[in-house]
Every structure is written in C-alpha cells, then in structure tokens.
C-alpha cells in the first residue's frame, strides 16, 4: 500500500465542486457526510487511546525472505502476502510468519515481471494478480504462474469486484480510473487528468461493504462505481477548511501549477491524503497547517479522534517512525513495525508480555506485523 519509491499520478474531477460538497445528506445520491472539526484535533496523545493490539506476527528472516520495507499486506485463509515495492518482491508467509516462498520474480521470461506496483488476491477464484506496468501476471494463491495478460493502459493500483470486473488507478498519461472486464478490456474510464486537480491519495483504492472505493482528495470525496457509474458515497467535511474549485480559480497561475505545495504550505486547508476503511471504522491521515495528523473515525457512531503524528506517544511498545496501515483484515488494521522498535526496551511490559514471540527478534530481523483494532 505504501509507495515511497514512486509518486502516484494525479486525479481529475470532471465536475464542479458543488457536486462534491453536498448538504448534510443528499438522499438522491445517498452521500454520507463525515463531519470532522479541526478545532477538535489534539496536539498530543497516546497510542493506547487509539489502538488495541490483537496479534503480533514476526516474519521469518532468511536470505530468500529479506524485506526492505513492507508496502502492502493481504491475509487470505492461512496465508499472508507481503509486498515490498523497493525490493520488488511479493512474499508468501503463513499466519505464524513462516516463509513459504516468493510469487514470481524479476525478468523477461514467462511469469516474470519488469516492475510490479501492486497486487490483488482474488479470494473467490483463488488467484493472485500482479500489476506490472501494462501487464497483469496471474498466479495461483500458492505461487504457480498461470498466464500473463496485457492492458491498454499503465496502472499503479488495482482492485477486483465481486462480479469479476476490475478497477485500476492509472498512471502517467493514463492517469484516471479504469473499469475493465475479466479480460482486462476497458469498459469505461473516469476522472481524466487535468492540471486543476493533481493530488493523489495514499490509498487510492479500497473496499467498503463489498464496494470498491476510490478517494479524490481534491474534492474530499469517496466514490464508488456502483451500477457501473461514478457515484459519490462519502464526503469529508472539515468544517470550512475544505479546498473548493472557487479557491482554485482565485489562485495565480504559478500557484495553480504547484497546487500540492501551495496547499501543503498555506495552512488554510485540510489536505486528506489517506482514507482506509474497515467495516465500521476508517483510518484517516491528513495535513493541516503544514502539520501531519492521523486518526480514526467510527463510521457507525460518528465519533473520531485525531492527533499530531509527531506528538503521538507510543505507550504500547515504544518509539516508532511512521504509523500507517499496510493492510486490513475484516476487523483489524495491519501495521508493519521495524524490529528494533519492538525490542528497544526489553524491560518494557509489552516486551515481557510477548517474550515468546519477540524473544528471537534482533535488529536485523524482518519487520513484525502488528494487527490492531481501533478503540474509537
């Protein structure tokens, strides 16, 4: 999920901002309004106020399974699939973290890839799709290569719907949302590129209640492709700190050309760049007044809590650099934690409580997966 070594291409909205800024609830479009008041943001907080640790999974460390950084994790049955974008590896582990093998490898032969950007586990047909520029490599869930298909566009992310259709997040000159059939032929496309809206989300595609979601940060709207059409599902309302089309039109051309930098540095607007939902809760990351915030929003009760990332005290297992989910289960967020963070204080109650799991971990070990539930 996390993609540090590439920069996502930017999305366009092809309609006015009034479409994206509905009243409290637009019954016709059934838009859910998520109200977040920036005045309620916390300047500091404890990690234990947000998360409850459910499980730790240390990933086996060997020459074949070395991980530089975990970007995306998917759990399916008794397996865990771990994607390392920098090292260009998709690794297979079991639920205890035992290394089972690698899915595909770099090269130009059958089933080999040039550069993969994302992957998808098809839980219905028990297949894995590796996204490789303009190709899709298809494997069994155990890693056997089946075939490779070409696409008509370059893409950086993909999701599969329940009816065997696909949604892609295009990149470069192909920057838009694509919907394809099971043969990866384009059925329709949405939000073609424009200079006016050039920012991209951290989690461009996700799932919520069996629907594929895509996040358009520049109008703070979460969309679905229900019934084959782009439909706004949720609107993130930051009580007057949303960036509108009128705001854009008033900017000088130099600022319009550098919209991302302008919004990041102006301090006038909330810039939401991450929305990752579970069944009843969503992780949200944003920037406000040139300060990074993260928090959780309960989609059922409308309760939420946000805190400055730099002032979030990790009172559970010790210091950490980044707190961003790399995956989800049905009820939990999956975080990847560097081993040195977990074993830095061997006298901590967290380490002693989990000594059977963490006792064999060293600073050179692979990351440890942490599954946690939101308390919000």
pLDDT in tens, 191-233: 876 666 566 788 999 999 889 999 888 789 999 987 778 899 9
Q: What is the distance between the alpha carbons of residues 122 and 161, in angstroms, rounded to a whole number?
A: 9
Q: What is the distance between the alpha carbons of residues 134 and 265, in angstroms, rounded to a whole number?
A: 35
pLDDT in tens, 74-121: 999 999 999 999 999 999 999 999 999 999 999 999 889 999 999 999
The continuous run of DSSP H or E covering 358 comes out as: helix 355-358
Instruction: Tell me the mean pLDDT in the region 27-37.
Output: 80
Spatial contact of 335 and 376, defined as CB atoms under 8 Å apart: no
Spatial contact of 213 and 222, defined as CB atoms under 8 Å apart: yes
State the greatest distance between any 2 C-alpha atoms of the chain, in Å, as a whole number: 60
**For residue 293, how many other CB atoms are within 10 A of its CB?**
24
Confidence band (pLDDT; 50, 70, 90) for 259?
Answer: confident
Spatial contact of 114 and 105, defined as CB atoms under 8 Å apart: no
Spatial contact of 328 and 54, defined as CB atoms under 8 Å apart: no
Q: What are the beta bridge partners of residue 169?
A: 157, 177
Spatial contact of 157 and 130, defined as CB atoms under 8 Å apart: no
Instruction: State the average pLDDT for the chain.
Output: 87
Q: How much of the chain exceeds pLDDT 90, in percent?
A: 67
Question: Phi and psi of 70, rounded to 5°?
Answer: -85, 125
- Model pTM score: 0.89
CATH architecture for the domain at 17-374: 6 Propeller (2.120)
């Amino acid at each position: 999920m996390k993609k540090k070594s590439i920069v996502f291409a930017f999305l366009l909205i092809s309609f006015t901002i009034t479409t994206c800024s509905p009243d409290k609830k637009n019954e016709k479009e059934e838009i859910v309004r998520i109200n977040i008041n920036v005045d309620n943001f916390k300047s500091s907080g404890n990690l234990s106020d947000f998360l409850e640790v459910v499980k730790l999974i240390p990933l086996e460390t060997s020459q074949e399974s070395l991980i530089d950084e975990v970007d995306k994790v998917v759990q399916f049955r008794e397996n865990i699939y771990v994607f390392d974008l920098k090292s260009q590896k998709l690794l297979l582990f079991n639920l205890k973290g035992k290394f089972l093998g690698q899915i595909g490898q770099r090269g130009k032969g059958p089933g080999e890839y040039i550069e993969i950007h994302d992957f998808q586990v098809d839980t219905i047909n028990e297949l894995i799709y590796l996204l490789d520029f303009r190709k899709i490599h298809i494997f069994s869930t155990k890693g056997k290569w089946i075939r490779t298909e070409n696409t008509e566009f370059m893409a950086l992310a993909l999701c599969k719907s329940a009816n065997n259709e696909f949604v892609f997040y295009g990149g470069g000159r192909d920057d838009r949302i694509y919907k394809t059939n099971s043969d990866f032929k384009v059925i329709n496309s949405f939000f073609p590129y424009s200079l006016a809206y050039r920012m991209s989300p951290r989690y461009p595609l996700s799932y919520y209640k069996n629907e594929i979601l895509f996040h358009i940060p520049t109008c703070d709207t979460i969309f679905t492709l229900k019934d084959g059409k782009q439909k706004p599902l949720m609107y993130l309302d930051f009580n007057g700190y949303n960036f509108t089309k009128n705001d854009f039109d008033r900017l000088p051309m130099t600022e319009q050309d550098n919209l991302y930098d302008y919004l990041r540095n102006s301090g006038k607007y909330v810039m939401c760049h991450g929305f990752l939902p579970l069944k009843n809760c969503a992780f949200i990351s944003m920037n406000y007044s040139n300060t990074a915030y993260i928090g959780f929003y309960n989609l059922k009760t409308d309760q939420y809590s946000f805190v400055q990332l730099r002032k979030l005290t990790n009172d559970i297992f010790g210091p950490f650099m980044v707190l961003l989910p790399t995956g989800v289960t049905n009820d939990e967020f999956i975080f990847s934690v560097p081993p040195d963070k977990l074993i830095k204080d061997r006298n901590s109650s967290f380490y002693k409580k989990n000594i059977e799991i963490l006792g064999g971990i060293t600073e050179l070990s692979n990351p440890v997966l942490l599954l946690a539930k939101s308390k919000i």
